[in-house]
Amino acid sequence: MSPLGERRLYRPICEYFSHYGDHFEEVPLGKKRIDLVFRSRNGYLTSVEVKIEKWRDAFSQALVNQLVSDYSYVALPTEVCQRVDESLFADNGVGLLSVGKSARTKICATRAAFKDRDMFKQVKDYLEVTPK
């Protein structure tokens, strides 16, 4: 489905992370974009890849996002969440959000152990100059 279809999931995800403070949409990272990035008041970054169907694609993107985020999640419609390999997420520290009228955590992300310094700087610099 198109990114416009994915965007319908943004609202419940943003409400779920509303306690974080700042949120950003379509944050550039090299040749791709991170769907949503949330910056907590203490500076932690949480990235969220949103997909309607292709959970494996979102999982692959979330693995890359771990290089620039403290926490990385995949958000999927509730009915799609029921079909994913949850052990793949848990074993790799990628969180999973189930999204319907509201979002809820199915698997908590673990804090990324490694960040790519240059990629992380690119994202942080973007967030500093982008209106919230």
Q: What is the pTM of this model?
A: 0.93
- Cα–Cα distance for residue pair 36/50, rounded to 1 Å: 8
CATH code where residue 112 lies: 3.40.1350
| Closest C-alpha to 53, from 92, 82, 17 | 82
Range of the domain at 120: 3-129
Among residues 129, 101, 109, which one has the least CA distance to residue 65? 109
In angstroms, the CA 20 to CA 97 distance is 16
From the list 83, 78, 72, the residue with the least C-alpha distance to 29 is 72
> Percent helix, strand, coil in the chain (nearest 5)?
40, 30, 35
Count of structural domains within the chain: 1
Cα 18 from Cα 30, distance rounded (Å): 27
pLDDT given at position 104 = 96
* pLDDT given at position 63: 96
Going residue by residue through the chain (132 aa), what tens digit of pLDDT does each one get? Answer: 445 588 889 999 999 999 888 999 999 998 899 999 999 988 899 999 999 999 999 999 999 999 999 999 999 999 999 999 999 999 999 999 999 999 999 999 999 988 899 999 899 889 988 876
